[in-house]
Amino acid sequence: MGAEASPYLLQHAHHPVNWYPWGEEAFSKARSEGKMIFLSIGYSTCHWCHVMAHESFENERIAEVMNDHFISIKVDREERPDVDAIYMNF
């Protein structure tokens, strides 16, 4: 995540959750490891995104569970409105 240009994704680069950006690397890893995807979509000025990050994604125990059982993908809805639109209407 540290190589991403998105300010939103960079805000999460140092969380204990092993975040991946939306892309084939994350999907291939999920397939090869037989793990489900945990998808989180947000944007840099979203209040509730920051609350969720602080209360959940910065928590070491929660991160351990997420890292052990999921491939976690973080999406900046301002960079990927196509992905956001799919899940807003799902």
14-29 pLDDT, tens digit each: 899 999 999 999 999 9
What pLDDT, on the 0 to 100 scale, is given for residue 84? 97
pLDDT number for residue 4: 81
Q: Residue 3: what pLDDT?
A: 77
Counting as low any pLDDT under 50, the low residues of the chain are none
Cβ 12 vs Cβ 19: under 8 Å: yes
Strand order in the sheet with 70-76: 19-21, 70-76, 36-42
CA angle 62, 64, 65 (to 5 degrees): 65
- CA–CA separation, 45 and 28 (whole Å): 30
d(CA 39, CA 71) in angstroms, rounded, equals: 8
Looking at residue 40, its pLDDT comes to 98
Task: Say which CATH topology domain 7-88 has.
Answer: Glutaredoxin (3.40.30)
Q: Where are the domains of the chain?
A: 7-88
